[in-house]
Amino acid sequence: MDGEKLVKHSYTVPCSSAFRDAVSVLAKAKKVNVADLARSVLLVVDYYTIDAYADPGEPEPDDRETVFLKSGPSEGRPWRRKPRLQIRMAPGFSVQMIRKALNLALAVEAGEVNIKPLTPAQEKAALEAHAQQAIKSDHALVQAAEEMERLKTIVSVLSFDPLPNGVSNRSDALHVLGFPPGIRPDFNIVKGRFRMLATIHHPDGEYGSHERMSQLNAAVEILKAS
């Protein structure tokens, strides 16, 4: 819409080095970038035609490129990784759909496929299909973010050492349950956190600990009373 800024998403598209090079050569010949190629196909070809087209797939295990790390402790060291294309365009597309769109662009350029422009009705249907795909993608991102937060909580709690003097105050209780200091979480959230951690630390479990389980119980009682 007018006045609204389009937020672009950065896609990493693993592909064979031959496919990457062919797409890059075509983009250069057309004086556009790779994202423009993908975007053009996605705009003028209906969703189902692209989806039914061949996906060139990921590179073979022996098809790797060497890059040099630019930051971190290993800065400057070579790293063998999958060849890929880096593309920035609107969110909501799968990597497979982008690869298929680029493969279709190569086929059109080679004269192997003849694409007719969409009729207004087809264009409307394609836009609706893209919108549905974006909704599914956004939902998947939300679920992934929630799962990441859950895993972070588990990791942070698993890594703490039991308090040497036990749980004696609210600050200790928040620490044991993996909450930041000073916050006042709703007790339903506390109970949910306790149940999750109890499945890990219960003495009957593979990673169980009597000491940690005892401190979890004490932490819940303190937060319940405060």
Q: Enter the pTM of the model.
A: 0.53
Neighbour count for residue 179 (Cβ, 10 Å) = 20
Task: Kindly state whether residue 139 falls inside one of the protein's structural domains.
Answer: no
Q: Are residues 25 and 123 in the same domain?
A: yes
Q: Are residues 13 and 117 in the same domain?
A: yes
Q: Are residues 99 and 160 in the same domain?
A: no
Structure tokens at 77: 């060291």
SS3 97: helix
Structure tokens at 208: 């169980």
Which residues of the chain form beta strands (DSSP E)? 9-14, 65-68, 78-81, 84-89
Which CATH number fits the domain that encloses residue 153? 1.10.287.110
Containing structural domain, residue 156? 147-225
pLDDT tens for each residue of 142-173: 777 777 777 666 655 555 678 889 999 999 99
Q: Are residues 117 and 158 in the same domain?
A: no
As a whole number of angstroms, the distance between CA 97 and CA 51 comes to: 6
The predicted structure's pLDDT at residue 4: 47
Q: Are residues 151 and 92 in the same domain?
A: no
C-alpha closest to that of 23 among 79, 86, 67, 70:
86
Domain count, the chain: 2
Q: Are residues 122 and 213 in the same domain?
A: no
Task: Kindly state whether residue 138 falls inside one of the protein's structural domains.
Answer: no
Task: Kindly state whether residue 45 falls inside one of the protein's structural domains.
Answer: yes
Q: Say how far residue 170 (Cα) sits from the centre of its chain.
A: 36
Please say which residue of 129, 155, 190 terminates a domain.
129
Q: Are strands 78-81 and 65-68 parallel, antiparallel or unpaired?
A: antiparallel
Q: Are residues 105 and 214 in the same domain?
A: no
Q: Are residues 120 and 160 in the same domain?
A: no
Task: Kindly state whether residue 186 falls inside one of the protein's structural domains.
Answer: yes
pLDDT tens for each residue of 62-117: 999 988 877 656 677 888 889 999 999 988 889 999 999 999 999 999 988 877 66
Task: Kindly state whether residue 82 falls inside one of the protein's structural domains.
Answer: yes
As a whole number of angstroms, the distance between CA 19 and CA 15 comes to: 6
Q: Are residues 53 and 165 in the same domain?
A: no
Task: Kindly state whether residue 55 falls inside one of the protein's structural domains.
Answer: yes
Q: Assign 191 a pLDDT band (cuts: 50, 70, 90).
A: very high
